[in-house]
Amino acid sequence: MKKRLPPLNWLRSFEVSARHLNFTQAATELNMTQAAISQQIKGLESQLGVTLFKRLPRGLELTEAGMAYLPAVHESIQRLAVATDEIFGKGRTRLLTVRTNLVFFTTWLAPRLGKFRKLHPDVNLRFSSNIWPDEREKDTDLKIRYGQGNWRGFRSDRLSWDELIPVCSPVLDSGNALPDNPAALAEHDLLHVVGYEEGWGYWLSQTGHQEVKSDQGLQFDTLITALEMAACGQGIALGRTALVAGMIESGRLVAPLKERVPTSEAFYLVSPDNQYEHPHAETFRAWIIGEAELGREQIIPHFTE
């Protein structure tokens, strides 16, 4: 049967006393009385069932059990101190936590975050992905969601104005068959993403290519996986212009078809109404909205024929 873990303050008293080999000096460092230190050490020894110190006329000496226990206690306390300082260090404000759609973070936000860090080095950020269970949302200050932007009880600031465009690997389009013959889509796997209202069925209907079966191909639960499959030459994904701009610029993807369909869905920065707001939330909001407006102006030239 495992022993119950001793109280942290007992372990702290043991570690300091072992360093000084003196209860009085340990009491001074911990701002406690010598009697309190001695009492905690006795409690620790009683719980562990061993003697940790030999009481000498002029100080202390560790027993074999004490010498064996000290390295583990010392390392644990040091690691806890480092982690506490990193996360809650003196002078730091609480981390600004942003819960974000994974594909938006990977393709749009991550390449831009360096700019924010240079402008606001005092703002400490923590990002969580929407792949985590919903219970993690309770610690979230801001969220990036995809949809129509009409969530009751939330403020929503739009971050994307997209067109839906088929994208694929340059290798898949090496024959240049698709631009002149969109019906050639039927010869390839269509890469679907579950949860998007405006998917392949919507695009084919809007462009007049209903002869292509919209239910063919593979399904994924995230757009980032569909885009990676497309980049690997495993099919054709339906990209959002804001998200695939970088992959097209780098040559990993091409947009072979001329037809593009505006989407009413978009990414939004979302925060609850009537709730205490993190002091740095407005700083991040102003920056990301500015980046979104700039990106809105710059995206269209990437996709002109």
Q: Which residues pair with 219 in a beta bridge?
A: 192
Domain extents for the chain?
8-88, 96-160+266-302, 163-262
Q: Give the pLDDT confidence score for residue 125 in this predicted structure.
A: 92
Same fold, 96-160+266-302 and 163-262: yes
Range 295-299, long-range pairs (CB < 8 A, 24+ positions): 295/108, 295/160, 295/242, 295/245, 296/160, 296/161, 299/241, 299/242, 299/245
> What residues have CB less than 8 Å from 150, skipping those under 6 apart?
156
Q: Give the pLDDT confidence score for residue 5 in this predicted structure.
A: 86
Q: Give the C-alpha separation, 214 to 221, whole Å.
A: 17
Q: Give the pLDDT confidence score for residue 4 in this predicted structure.
A: 79
pLDDT in tens, the chain (305 residues): 566 789 999 999 999 999 999 999 999 999 999 999 999 999 999 999 999 999 888 889 999 999 999 999 999 999 888 777 766 665 456 789 999 988 999 999 999 999 999 999 989 899 988 665 554 456 788 999 998 888 888 899 999 999 999 999 988 766 555 655 677 788 888 999 988 888 999 999 998 888 888 888 899 988 999 999 999 999 999 999 999 989 999 999 998 888 889 999 899 999 988 777 888 999 999 999 999 998 776 654 444 44
Q: Give the C-alpha separation, 105 to 108, whole Å.
A: 6
Q: Are 164 and 261 in contact (CB under 8 A)?
A: yes
Chosen CATH of 8-88 out of 1.10.10.10, 1.10.3210.10, 1.20.1420.20, 3.40.710.10: 1.10.10.10
Q: Rounded to two decimals, what is the model's pTM?
A: 0.66
Q: Give the pLDDT confidence score for residue 301 in this predicted structure.
A: 40
Q: Give the pLDDT confidence score for residue 38 in this predicted structure.
A: 93
Averaged confidence pLDDT in the chain: 86
Two structure tokens written together for 49: 């069932």
Kindly provide the residue ranges of all beta strands, DSSP E only, lying in 3-102, ordered along the sequence: 53-56, 59-62, 96-100
For domain 163-262, give the fold. Answer: D-Maltodextrin-Binding Protein; domain 2 (3.40.190)
Q: Give the pLDDT confidence score for residue 135 in this predicted structure.
A: 46
Is domain 96-160+266-302 classified as CATH 3.30.2350.10? no
Q: Are 246 and 162 in contact (CB under 8 A)?
A: no
Bridge-based pairing of strands 142-147 and 125-129 is unpaired
